[in-house]
Amino acid sequence: MTKILNVYIRPLTLSDAVELLNLEKKNQTFFESHSVTRPENYWTLETHKELIEKWEENTRKDIQYEFGIFQINNDVLIGTISLFHVVRGPCQSATLGYSLDQEHNGKGYTTEAVNLVVNYAFEILNLHRIEAGVMPDNLGSMRVLEKAGFHKEGIAIKNVEINGRWEDHQILAILNPNH
């Protein structure tokens, strides 16, 4: 049985900068409770163009892959998903991060995007392991990862600074079944 997808992912390009900035501004309050503190100049088009250029360079270096999450029916950017801290050599691993427009939460879109990026990581990048950290009170995000096949590994104590406070994170991971 083939599952019909509602979203697709693709690398963000400079032509996405305005849409990305608008997504971030629209969800600023929603995202900030689980995101790192943003510098003051973050909320400018120039900064978002620079970010996209940096992401493109990091992709060429094989250290980060940043994708937009787009709705299939209208090609609207509704979120982002990334593989970062890509490590080669004996580890073959990366860290997963994502955000989705608040009005699209609870519809399964993030789970679809996670599945797509995991497939990309395992099939195209040939990674062995992907891990993600989630604040323990972010139950929706933990459900997304568990539905995508991630398993809980433990709590990393005060490992990410969120809004000026060091926050604990539940670490979840998924292993490449072909390794």
Domain ranges for the chain, please list them. Answer: 7-128
Q: DSSP secondary-structure letter at 2?
A: P
Which tokens hold the place of 164? 């000026």
User: Are 37 and 164 in contact, with CB atoms under 8 Å apart?
Assistant: yes
User: Are 134 and 172 in contact, with CB atoms under 8 Å apart?
Assistant: yes
Place of tokens 């993600």: 132
Q: How does 35-70 read in b/e, with b if 16+ C-beta sit within 10 Å?
A: beeeeeeeeeeebbbebbeebbebbeeeebbbbbbb
Res 1: pLDDT: 53
Please tell me the distance from the alpha carbon of residue 24 to that of residue 146, in angstroms, as a whole number.
Answer: 26
Query: Tens digit of pLDDT per residue, the chain (179 long)?
Result: 556 789 999 999 999 999 999 999 999 988 887 777 788 889 999 999 999 999 999 999 999 999 999 999 999 999 999 999 999 999 999 999 999 999 999 999 999 999 999 999 999 999 999 999 999 999 999 999 999 999 999 999 999 888 888 999 999 999 999 99
Q: Which residues contact 168 (CB under 8 A, 6 or more apart)?
A: 135, 136, 155, 156, 157, 158, 159
User: Are 69 and 104 in contact, with CB atoms under 8 Å apart?
Assistant: no
Regarding the domain delimited by 7-128, which CATH topology (the fold level of the hierarchy) does it fall under? Aminopeptidase (3.40.630)
Please tell me the distance from the alpha carbon of residue 83 to that of residue 97, in angstroms, as a whole number.
Answer: 7
Please tell me the distance from the alpha carbon of residue 3 to that of residue 71, in angstroms, as a whole number.
Answer: 15
